[in-house]
Amino acid sequence: MQTHLSDYLFPGTAQRIVRVDFAASTFEPDDLWWLPHAPLLTGAVTSRCAEHLAGRIAASEALRLSGVDNYIPGIGLHRAPCWPPGFTGSITHTGSIALATVMPDSHGLYCGTGLDCETILEAAGAQEIAAGIIGAAERERLQASTLPFPLALTLAFSAKESLFKALYRHVGRYFDFFSAEITQITDDRVTLKLLEKLGPFRESLTFTGRWYSDGVRLKTLIQAQTE
- Do both 45 and 89 map to the same domain? yes
Residue 79 has pLDDT above 90, yes or no: no
Predicted pLDDT at 227 = 79
pLDDT band per the 50, 70, 90 thresholds, residue 143: very high
- Do both 77 and 126 map to the same domain? no
Asked if residue 76 is part of any domain, the answer here is yes
DSSP single-letter state for residue 4: E
Asked if residue 223 is part of any domain, the answer here is no
Asked if residue 220 is part of any domain, the answer here is no
Residue 78 has pLDDT above 90, yes or no: no
Mean pLDDT across 159-167: 98
Asked if residue 183 is part of any domain, the answer here is yes
- Do both 9 and 42 map to the same domain? yes
Give the type of residue at 153. L
Predicted pLDDT at 108 = 84
- Do both 90 and 159 map to the same domain? no
Asked if residue 226 is part of any domain, the answer here is no
pLDDT band per the 50, 70, 90 thresholds, residue 6: very high
Residue 128 has pLDDT above 90, yes or no: yes
- Do both 81 and 151 map to the same domain? no
What range does the domain containing 83 cover? Answer: 3-105
How many other C-beta atoms are found inside a 10 Å radius of the C-beta of residue 184?
Answer: 13
Asked if residue 218 is part of any domain, the answer here is no
- Do both 134 and 96 map to the same domain? no
Residue 155 has pLDDT above 90, yes or no: yes
Do 181 and 221 form a contact (C-beta atoms < 8 A)?
Answer: no
Asked if residue 48 is part of any domain, the answer here is yes
Final residue of a domain: which of 51, 72, 105? 105
The 10s digit of each residue's pLDDT in 11-62 is 999 999 999 999 999 999 999 999 999 999 988 999 999 999 999 999 999 9
- DSSP β-ladder status, 87-94 and 97-104: antiparallel
Q: How far apart are CA 69 and CA 185, in angstroms?
A: 38
Which CATH number belongs to the domain containing residue 85 in this structure?
3.90.470
Beta strands in 10-132 (DSSP E): 16-22, 74-75, 81-82, 87-94, 97-104, 110-119
- Do both 206 and 139 map to the same domain? yes
Instruction: Dihedral sign for Cα 218, 190, 188, 142, please.
Output: positive
Do 53 and 96 form a contact (C-beta atoms < 8 A)?
Answer: no
Mean pLDDT across 120-132: 96
Number of domains in the chain: 2
Final residue of a domain: which of 75, 105, 135? 105
Asked if residue 23 is part of any domain, the answer here is yes
How many other C-beta atoms are found inside a 10 Å radius of the C-beta of residue 157?
Answer: 22
Final residue of a domain: which of 105, 139, 156? 105
